[in-house]
A and B are shown apart, each in its own frame.
Chain A
Amino acid sequence: MTINSITFLSLVRREVARFTKVAIQTIFAPLISTGLYLIIFSYSFQNREVAGYGVPYISFIVPGLIMMSLIQNSFANTSSSLIGAKYNGIIIDFLLAPFSYIELSLGFMIGGMVRGLLVATVTYLVSIYFYGGAIAHPFLALFFAILVSSIFSLFGIIAGLWAEKFDHVSIFSNFFITPLTFLSGVFYSVKGLPGIWSEVSLFNPVFYMVDAVRFAFIGQSDMSPYFSALVIFSLAVFLLVIVTYLFKIGYKVKS
């Protein structure tokens, strides 16, 4: 497992430059949709508190909305980069160049993380206007954000490698990412869910991500943040191994 810094950084540079060249689509468009959520929820539930948390609703959902931006944009970056590369034929550039498999995994992953973290940071800056901007554990928030963005960047790589056309990526996005995100407690506390649904939510990995970041923001969460950290970290390592293996076998890119 070797990394050539110039080779590796060139891939990261390419991945970051790719989305910044179309910043209106990749940074500002997601920001508008998250901004609309903030406006709607802050005015609709102005005086409401979340049961068991004792914080205003807007303070409760801001970490969830930031997570949502992070997840969707990290995933979108790597998945669209790879399916685009397949579509344009430039996927062979990555195969002909002397990348190690771990360099490919990390290079694409970091590109996705940069976009996810950038959109999440801008979303946070906008959210300061709505809730004041307090973060109980800022370094923990950054740590969780980095881990979550890596997970969904890696998911995006798997989707991009698996997909044979752009439609396939939206299957991943519409049938997995969006439902798992919306049902992860972004907008509510899973403790308050009726009956079995509270337990079912524990099988949703995104729940641990949202919950952990919520702990970092407001100092309260449904689960222990240490347990959430363990789940998130394990998932990130597992996906990194899977993605590196997929690059090694040339999954759907080598004939």
Chain B
Amino acid sequence: MVYSDRLRDIYGGDFVTTAIKIRDINKTYGELQALDDVNLDIKKGEFFGLLGPNGAGKSTLIGILGGLVKKDSGNVTVLGKDIIKNYRETKKSLGIVPQEITFDPYFTVRETLEIHSGYFGIKDNDQKIDELLNALSLSDKAEIGPRQLSGGMKRRLLIAKALVHDPEIIVLDEPTAGVDVELRNSLWEYVINLNNQGKTIILTTHYLEEAEALCDRIAIMNKGKIVKVDTKENLINSIDKKLIKIQFADSVQGLEDELQEINFDLNKDKREIEIETAKQDLDKILKKINRLNLDIVDMNIESAKLEDVFIKLTSLGGDDN
């Protein structure tokens, strides 16, 4: 029995565990270093977040993955296949939702999806097309041209196009920009369901709360570099911050004296206080407040958010990896 066959036995016929492997990718546009020695592994079945400010290089990286952008150096594999040597296979494994809204004005929504199915070698794809139209609330728009669709609908059509060939890896580049909240939720439900079926999801978004709620692991990019890759929990725990919010029954006196060395905000009627502190000072602060013997109506302690991690890593310009 050959080695690969043994691996197949062990891993149930599918021994490639890395969905995307990016090695030493560089890309320049004139003087601008858009990607600077980027290395990244995305595992199969992950819900992966690729975050960064505008111009960080996220879309360039996605463009290289999909064959829209030519890399200067390095290599990328998709499910173990090189994106240049085996580009036809890797493209079939990828479903990319681009950031820019594009549409073919000559064809209705359904025709667009039929043609797109054909591009990926799929004939008679009505069942999948209907499933997508339904999931993305486009069923009643199936027979109209894309010019008559709203911005949010056009974006949903882009998503349907990317999913019509049932790809193993789905790349969503700002998929919810301009999509209203209700449809955004139904879109995420559908994407989570795909992830639960084993599809790998790669998400870039400016809505950090979406990334925080959805992603297992996150890479933060800045100025063409990956400045941090870790699980969401580790990233958030890397920020030593707690926010204590306390609501008192009456206006409080003497807090300023007791909390002299602590950074806090007291509201105008002196009934609510917000204290930002490091984890190790939490106990000390709570004991100090307790000593004042105040009537507390409500109290909330919040941990750091992904946004804090994002701001820290990107405003510093990427201090660690």
Identify the A interface with B (CB < 8 A): 2, 4, 6-7, 9-11, 13-14, 17-18, 21-22, 85, 88-90, 92-100, 250, 254-255
Contact = CB atoms under 8 A, between A and B. Distances in A.
Nearest to A89: B102
Contacts of A14: 107, 115, 118
B128 interface: no
Nearest to B107: A17
Interface string B99-110: 011111111000
B96 A4 contact: no
B87 interface: yes
Contacts of B271: none
A89 B103 CA distance: 7
A255 B69 contact: yes
A11 B67 contact: no
A89 B105 CA distance: 11
Interface stretch (B119-127, B227-235, B236-244, B273-281): B119-127
Contact of A7 (B70, B98, B121): B121
Nearest to A11: B119
B104 A88 contact: yes
B122 to A, nearest CB: 7
A254 B68 contact: yes
B3 interface: no
B116 to A, nearest CB: 7
B265 interface: no
A255 B89 contact: no
Interface string B39-73: 00000000000000000000000010011111000
A113 to B, nearest CB: 19
A186 to B, nearest CB: 32
B270 interface: no
A96 B70 contact: no
29 contacts: A6-B118, A14-B118, A17-B115, A21-B106, A85-B104, A89-B100, A89-B101, A89-B102, A90-B102, A93-B116, A93-B119, A94-B119, A95-B66, A95-B68, A96-B66, A96-B67, A96-B91, A96-B94, A98-B87, A98-B88, A98-B89, A98-B119, A98-B121, A100-B88, A254-B69, A254-B70, A255-B29, A255-B63, A255-B69
Contact of A90 (B89, B94, B103, B111): B103
B92 interface: yes
Contacts of A89: 100-103
Given A88-B104, A90-B102, A90-B103, A13 B118 contact: yes
Given A6-B118, A6-B123, A96 B68 contact: yes
B217 interface: no
B161 interface: yes
Given A7-B120, A254-B70, 14 more contacts: A7-B121, A11-B119, A18-B106, A22-B106, A88-B103, A88-B105, A89-B100, A89-B102, A92-B102, A95-B68, A97-B119, A99-B88, A250-B70, A255-B70
A90 B87 CA distance: 19
Of all A-B residue pairs in the complex, the 10 with the closest CB atoms, nearest first, are: A10-B118, A89-B102, A97-B119, A98-B91, A98-B88, A6-B121, A90-B104, A7-B121, A18-B106, A14-B115
Contacts of B100: 89
Nearest to B101: A89
Contacts of A17: 106-107, 111, 115
Contacts of B102: 88-90, 92-93
Contacts of A90: 102-104
Contacts of B104: 85, 88, 90, 93
A89 B98 CA distance: 10
A10 B115 contact: yes
